[in-house]
A and B are shown apart, each in its own frame.
Chain A
Amino acid sequence: MSERQHTIFLDGEEVPFRDGETVYEVSERHRREVPTLCYDPRLEAFGACRLCVVEVEGLRNPVASCTTKATAGMRVNTRTDVLEAHRKTLLELVASESRAAAEAPAGAVPGTVDPLRGYASQELATLASRYEVSGERFAGAKSGHSKGADDDNPFILRDYDLCISCYRCVRVCAEREGDYAISVANRGFHTQITTEFDSKLSDSSCTFCGQCVQTCPTGALADKKALRKVDVPGELQKTRTICPYCGVGCSVDIVTKGEEIVAVQPAMDGPANEGALCIKGQFAWDHVQHGDRLKTPFVRGEDGELRPASWDEALDRAAAGFRKAYAEHGAHAIYAIASGRAPHESAYTVQKFIRAGFGTNYIDNCSRA
């Protein structure tokens, strides 16, 4: 126990910190609930929203806790009346520039958007409610221009009327996805998220991974596939699973209303992906509930045409085929490939069936990426 433990004083309480930790990280660990909007723990701290400001004894102005490293003996206050007043003013300012926030009906919380827009889409509304933000103060021009029909890609809605210029989307695209597809155009109140030459996402280097959507704290970037399901009745429920498409094993939450899948969202705490997905894991789930899916087995008749059959008939036919192949050519003549669009349970069953049933390891999966 000879190693010296460094501490800071957090609202008067002496707490330890690790080398390199920011004041915000220490505060989080001690449940101070310091508000943030531009913060995403996976990204380099940026210091845009200034909501995370704290008072540090000896400094004249408050500092952004997200960009301030803890140093031994520092005395920090995270929630004084003055700080809370600044936070409320900042939230009222940011509410005043957003279409959704400024045009919220009387009594509604400014910034309210449908949670199907994306994982983090409720952050602004949640803070607006916590700080009892009025949508009327600081009225004036709105910032940002939604793309609407100008970007008709099937996945991502670019509804920049709601954008509050936190640049989480730009930073996640650069720092996590490495695609650098989007950036900041113009300056000041006229900043706008853009692509190269203000093109459509499909003409940019975007891979439609959806990470920008899921980190957006306002729903300005939204999941178009999920938005089709806004009117489906029922409460949102999330079920944790692993994306079946490839071998990385990204954790996802299947979002459902009743029996219906309405969205897929990445698990921010997924050990393999930490909130990242690819275009398939993020957006390619329509097949699950697609009307064209087969609902009964089919067998081929003498005439070579497929016709509906009962399960017993279909299984008998399959078994006969396997038996014949096994008898004539041996176990290694049998080879199974499972689909990445099938559930994990099916994939497991297929390999078990081939290995234990026939004694061969000739199995594969289309998502062996």
Chain B
Amino acid sequence: MFRLTPDPIAIEPFDSESAGGFVSFEGKVRNHAYGRNVVRLEYEAFSEMAVAEGDKLIAEAAKLHGLTKVQIVHRIGILEVGETAVVIQVAAPHRREAFAGCEWIIDQLKWRVPIWKREHFGDGTSEWVGIGDEKQVSQSNDAFTRQIRLPFIGEQGQQKLRDARVLLVGVGGLGSAALPYLVASGIGSLGIVDGDLVEVTNLHRQILYAANEVGRGKAERAAAFARRINPHVQVQTFPERIDSHNAERILADYDWIVDGTDSLETKFLLNALCKRLGKALVTASIHQMEGQILTVIPDGPCLQCLFPEIPQDGCVGTCSNDGILGVVAGSMGIYQATEVLKGILGIDGLLSHSMLLVDLRTGNSNRLTREMRENCKGCEGIVAELTPFVIQSLADAESRFGRFDIVDIRELDETPLLAVAHLRQPRSELGDLSNIELEGPTVFICATGRRSFQLVDQLRRAGKFDAYSLARGVEGV
């Protein structure tokens, strides 16, 4: 039964002989909202409709969660801080249904029952917060009830998705398909990297974009698409082409990286950097009506274990030269989203030790087992020709950074003295690397380039992406 009352709510006895689990929820007026001081609240209801909708809600909750009895009392009028605004009591055969049902009801109540709340702030101002208000439903799971029912998801899995941070590198054919499903499934934070503008030749496969968006930035349009699906998703855009100079910085805040690029060089770069930074990578490629997909996890075999020699772009064909059917990119992009969801939710069967080949023309697919290769450069996080932090000369550094610091890390007895260095800081005296603060691009120099390479490698693994190493050391000056 759903009831509205202008009087303080007294919690009444609540029994149900067929139930073993009883959960009571009390919502009270708190003294702050969105960082502001709240002194009192005012509730106003469209009574007839609120009661009708409330009773409907109770019937649904009973059916959905197997509740044997539900009672909701909602206060209206002016309430002071500390007063009870709503009491929800549910009974179910077991505690699990009782907890889940009670939580479902409070989310639904805020979302759809026509009760408005006016917050009176300490500074004398006030604000109405309506039903379905974004702030109120930000934690609601309503949109995800159909997947929460899956035994391997549940409320816990949904929370994992909400906590997940996924980066889409490239929102072309693959990324266009992965993005809607990742966002719709409730992924909480999404990064989008793409420096391209929408072109008319993209539209047949890059389904995030409409004809009237030609000429606009892909990253920004993809972000708008994501927000239309789920207004609560946190989106960060990187309207730039990912390369060895910016990749570590872009990857830093994300746990799952979806490679939707069409460049082998970028794929191998992402592979090595994900290994270096301990991230998971789902990489896919398409060729006419075929697709390849594999997942690289921190302790599994990598892309370079499979292809030790990095192929040059152009040797295997590209979409622009060879043509591509939209559904093929779409299918593989959805496979990628599936891998990310499996990984986040801990579902078995990740392609972390295999590669899936899909032929959409014949309907054949092959899942091929792959293993780690000893001394794999990719696994070590180092790909010589792509190593992003080796500077060939100080002149290169100057043209790249403008201003930068030079630190000589040779021991104090090493000669010759290096006049260009701003600081002489022997490697043996550096101590804990995580405490080192770099103020802008910093080039480290040693005698041969070997010690500085190792140091910069370690610094970058500790998140210091402003560290660079000078090739050939003092000789290279």
Do A and B originate from a single complex? no
B interface with A by C-beta (< 8 Å) = none
